[in-house]
Structure 1
């Protein structure tokens, strides 16, 4: 038999390696690493962002051949890439970009999700993809179409694409949704999932002209990667005819995440190399980031089928061997830059990319007894700043858009919002900002109350006396409720909506029993009007409101307002707050305070007094006011009159409303109320660092409206 001599060359002393040049575990697991003697600088960073900022600072104005950037933790690559991009430092990640993160790869992933579940989130995300939006050929702009989609969902809580098509009243949105429905149908009707997905992609890109030049090269590379992936899945489907659609879809989704595309390397770019590639680069300076336990050395822990002892018996790589390999790489990387040949900067974050705490690598503690304590102090050093590190930063303070029109009309409920907080009033009623929840499958408290109001509005013209049968009135209102709910949400209700439907029916029954009890005690009523609109001029602005119910009881008018809270307040407590030791909100004018019964209060709502003001007639008795509390149980349901309501309440409320309108016209929307609970504040997520630290206060202290009202809207 012929023999061939083999020479094994090692970068280090021969006795530290076996005959094949592999690091010997018994030596390297105990070998001291002399970072101090090798010109290595160890530094702890409180968080990955701080480490990325320091890497960018070291790399600025440095040539790629003079400095090497190493990433022991690949999860930090996007964070570092973002920081380098912000500093305009060219860089390149040889690992590539996952196929599913952009372009046709992302569209393929979204079509997989659409074929599995056409919920509102998937539909909305598909419409946001530029290629899909071009395919549906919508005449509306993308933001406008998405806004109409959100509004349709908010009104009807549409569970899927079919419900959206059913309930939308906009022809252009319906056309866009039907185009998505046709894509879903083409995927589901194909013999194999891969074939259906391929057909859907062909339909989307059928009329797209693809440039053959360099500008379209990234798109062509992604398209080719998707084509190869679908061909592989098609082969699997042909080989295994009983392969389920769910499994085929899973194969595509996994393939999209595993496949990588590699864009062209920019000129003079710094490569972001992984741990195992660092030894082969000879740049004199190395900046190594992310040397944390679990990343280097890499460990396999808790494998049920191949524990460490069995891996050693089979000759497979063990954790000890990985540790020895990484210890060798660490020494080799550092020693080639010892002395005047270069330097090594090792930045060790104390947190991972997701914010969880992490430990320094065990490699960093391989040293003599004299070096262990100083290294430990360095690697676990506290941040220089006393403030806790944050994962976000505010690059500028927000300002309101200039020259918004002064509103010509204002609602009673908007005045309540201003009493609560003028800044949030500006966001909600001047800029018309409001949150839209695309995840909820049940009515919000406001929508629940609005639906109940709409049902009870059908009582207009009804007379109720002691002879009225509760069962008849309950049956009538229940039938109205059934029709309203079916018209708004369809026949197929989610579990949450079915529960809310039962809650509405229960509240109606409790209300009827309380209403019959009231007329038997206080006399019959005739419901003259429901949802009665009114308007009045105050300080040159039209004040508007809607009175839930106007009743005639004998010779007197009663104004009532429905409340659906489970623990309702009395009218007095809902409108007036006693002054406590704590200072009231600083934005309130003097007119917002009211003395009554030897006590001083501040107005927190002007609703019922303004209702009375709108219905005052000369020579007639002032209307009475009350709440009808529509709680879910009979015990909490009640008709709560405002017993000590007087004309002084009306006069004070009008003076307060006029003062508030003067402040609104003067552009006074500061300071914000600091006492609002975060869970009741719709705008809290916009200001994680606090409103005062996020916006320009002076811009809201004297906001300048436009002089003309041509574009004015009502509040």
Structure 2
């Protein structure tokens, strides 16, 4: 493809937003990975890149394109965004504030009979904050509808004539009321802003390119149809009739046969661990450098096993989708429990977090050990119990004679434990009083430097965002803590040093350039993806409202698999893996895309994909060789055991009830403590 004169436009390159299908959508070669083809397409237009807005399907694909251009040489990169960028329309209320508005509305409803179509059974709970879960689900509904440019009220109009129409009419009434709540707080929801006005186009944007987005949301399409700038859609394929005007695969993709890779394999594994081990073998068999390997997984459980399996072979790999719960979440949960009840159990939970150390003036481990001993020996459950026990121990020590020095020393150590534990309780009570004194937000601001000094969970931003609303709603500290916990999201795990490979999700793989493609988790329900699990949006409703549904997802994923196979047909290798059982042990079926064939070819595939293999876990447990246990991973080693020469009658009864539990308790000597018991057990007396 020749390079146009700098600053000049090729005929057909730039068309207005009202352009026809034939001149808006451009097919590019799918004989090579889309990443490479699109990178060349952009480079040929490098003079126009500063004024170009490029829409890509995922954040990872955007990073890939920016890196592609950087590797080609110095050039001003285009603006690279995801489709949701075109739905941003001003300063809208955050999800947290919208959830709070819904909670205020729902907990203020006095007559649920008015909304009997949506709520046949009134969803009233006990205590402040019972509506948090329901509020979050309704906000999720509004976010889903935003992708098709609908409010709940507009969705209710589309549902007219269906059995669910009355349900949606009730929700529309509640939506109208929640907008009034937000308006009273001088906030506006994203749904309202999207319904009121169009996207504000930056003057620096001269053209828009939709690059390899197989599921462009209808709401984004409407924005682009009114775009005052030229719009071009790039699609990898060889027949324009297979796509709609916006590059979305049509339904016929789900009906086509998909040939298995000529170079590579389709491999059935027993479970997630077995898939990971086989994936390592496939990469080694391919013999390509890590820069030429595109690794992905449609199953999160398999992804975790891939990280482990490659790491054990000395290949550090990274899962960009890996998330972790901030440490502050655990501490806040324990702090809320302590706020509701200042018992020994709640204090023990708090002492398990490093952030509590500053509140009790250090010695966190010693305090935890002391309190644990007292809870186990004296069954103390509160400060009152501890003070009564101290009085009794002091009396007992004073009544001892001089010849009982060993007992005196033991009681003295016990009294030391009691003094340290009472000091711990006093310190936490003082911290709680300071927290409760001046309102939740001020109390949290004072606590944060001790329990989350780096503010990793971004609680400071949340507090600033919701501070003025604390004056609008009459809520206690326990509610605000629960609300804060419900709003804290997970954090991205940072990449390990020296990583050689990333494990991408299904949608990211389309932009991966590696010659050797390895995809795990190709099971039904993973690929094609299943729809949303939101109870308000079942499959029939999703179809009615033009939301992603089983048919559209099947067409999309059939196209993506076909495109990735085609890109490596002449130069490359593809290994597809699937499992028989999931991580929890549920039976899995092969993806329908792997069975997209007919006649004898379909019979051959069924025979291969439904073959019976010995489970890896059974082999490991049944193997007397200690190496067999190592297959279980997680540091498993065969535990040392002592075979008894005799057996109690009750133990024989336990064996008959459950041999596994008998082995763990009687042979491996595993015992579960019961610190919450309120009286001594027979073992204690013994």
2:473 matched residue in structure 1: 241
Residue of structure 2 equivalent to 1:317: 548
**1:94 offset after TM fit, Å?**
1.9
- 1:378 corresponding residue in structure 2: 608
Contact 1:124 1:146 in 2 (8 A): yes
Residue in structure 1 matched with residue 595 of structure 2 by the alignment: 365
- 2:295–2:504 CA contact under 8 A, matched in 1: yes
Could you say which residue in structure 2 is the equivalent of 1:129?
353
Cα shift at 1:328: 0.8
TM-score, structure 2 as length reference: 0.51
> Contact (CA 8 Å) 1:111, 1:197: kept in 2 or not?
no
Q: Which residue matches 1:336? A: 567
Question: 1:51 maps to which residue?
Answer: 275
**SS across alignment from 1:446:** helix
Q: Partner of 1:81 in structure 2?
A: 307
Alpha-carbon distance in 2 for matches of 1:382, 1:416: 40
| Larger relative helix fraction | 2
Distance (whole Å) between structure 1 residues aligned to residue 485 and residue 255 of structure 2: 44
Per the TM alignment, residue 432 of structure 1 is displaced from its structure 2 partner at its CA by 12
User: 3-state SS of the aligned residue for 2:473?
Assistant: coil
Report the CA distance shift for 1:224/1:366 in structure 2 as closer, same or farther (over 3 A): same
The secondary structure found in structure 2 opposite 1:9 is strand
Conserved 8 A contact 2:380-2:386 = yes
Matched, 1:152 2:348: no
CA distance in 2: counterparts of 1:119 and 1:440, whole angstroms: 14
Deviations 1:461-495, CA, capped at 9 Å, x for gaps: xxxxxxxxxxxxxxxxxxxxxxxxxxxxxxxxxxx
Please list, as runs of the form range in 1=range in 2, the aligned pairs for 1:400-549 lying within 5 A after superposition. Answer: 435-440=672-677, 443-447=680-684, 450=685
Q: Residue by residue, what CA displacement relative to the aligned partner does 1:526-569 show, whole Å, maximum 9, x if unpaired?
A: xxxxxxxxxxxxxxxxxxxx9xxxxxxxxxxxxxxxxxxxxxxx
Asked whether the equivalents of residues 94 and 271 of structure 1 are also in contact (C-alpha less than 8 Å), the reply is yes
Partner Cα separation in structure 1 for residue 637 and residue 568 of structure 2: 42
**2-structure distance, mates of 1:298, 1:46:** 21
Aligned twin of 1:22:
248
Q: Give 1:319 deviation, angstroms.
A: 1.9
Q: CA deviation at 1:71?
A: 1.5
- Cα distance 1:130–1:68, how it changes in 2: closer, same or farther (>3 A)? same
What residue is the counterpart of 1:458 in the other structure? none
TM-score normalised to structure 1 length: 0.49
Give distance in 1, aligned partners of 2:420 and 2:616.
Answer: 55
CA drift at 1:73: 1.5
RMSD: 4.2
Runs (5+) with no aligned partner, structure 1:
211-219, 401-414, 422-426, 451-545, 547-715
Aligned 1:169-184 pairs, distance under 5 A: 169=415, 170=417, 171-184=419-432
Match 2:485 to one of 253, 272, 281? 253
Change (3 A) 1:123 1:338: farther
Counterparts in 2 of 1:396 and 1:167: CA distance versus 1, 3 Å? same
User: Rg bigger for which structure?
Assistant: 1
Aligned with 1:348 (options 578, 587, 597): 578
Q: Is the Cα–Cα contact under 8 Å of residues 165 and 177 in structure 1 kept in the other structure?
A: no
Q: Secondary structure at the match of 2:296?
A: strand
Equivalent runs, 1:153-168 vs 2, <5 Å:
153-159=375-381, 167=389
Cα distance, 1:360–1:200 mapped onto 2, change above 3 Å: same
Deviations along 1:359-395, one digit per CA (max 9) or x if unpaired, are 2222222222222222223222222469726694565
Find the residue that maps to 2:233 and give its secondary structure. coil
2:439 corresponds to: 191
Q: Is 1:150–1:436's contact at 8 Å kept on the other side of the alignment?
A: no
* Distance (whole Å) between structure 2 residues aligned to residue 416 and residue 77 of structure 1: 45
Q: Please report how far the alpha carbon of residue 34 of structure 1 lies from its aligned counterpart in structure 2 after TM superposition.
A: 0.8
Q: Give the secondary structure class of the aligned counterpart of 1:388.
A: helix
How far apart, in 2, do the equivalents of 1:84 and 1:186 lie?
50
In the superposition, relative to structure 1, how do residues 11 and 311 fare at CA in structure 2: closer, same or farther (>3 Å)?
same
Change (3 A) 1:442 1:323: farther
Contact 1:108–1:201 under 8 Å retained in 2: no
**Residue number in structure 1 paired with 2:203:** none
- Structure number having the greater strand percentage: 1
Quickly say closer, same or farther: Cα 1:166–1:325, change in 2 above 3 A.
farther
Compared with structure 1, are the counterparts of its residues 386 and 325 closer, same or farther at alpha carbon in structure 2 (3 Å cutoff)? closer
What does residue 518 of structure 1 align with? Answer: none
**Counterpart selection for 1:287 from 518, 530, 533:** 518
Q: Which structure is richer in relative contact order (CA contacts within 8 A, separation 6 or more)?
A: 2
Change (3 A) 1:54 1:320: same
Unmatched tracts of structure 2, length 5 or more = 1-14, 18-228, 391-414, 622-630, 653-663
CA contact (8 A) 1:161 1:181 kept: no
Instruction: Tell me what 1:72 maps to.
Output: 298
| Compared CA separation, residues 284 and 200, structure 1 to 2 (3 A) | same
Provide, for residues 635-664 of structure 1, a one-character-per-residue CA deviation record: whole Å limited to 9, x for no partner: xxxxxxxxxxxxxxxxxxxxxxxxxxxxxx
Q: Are 2:293 and 2:518, in contact at CA under 8 Å, matched by a contact in 1?
A: yes
**Aligned in 2, Cα 1:80/1:184: closer, same or farther, shift over 3 Å?**
farther
How many residue pairs get aligned? The number is 407
Report the secondary structure of 2:548's partner residue: coil
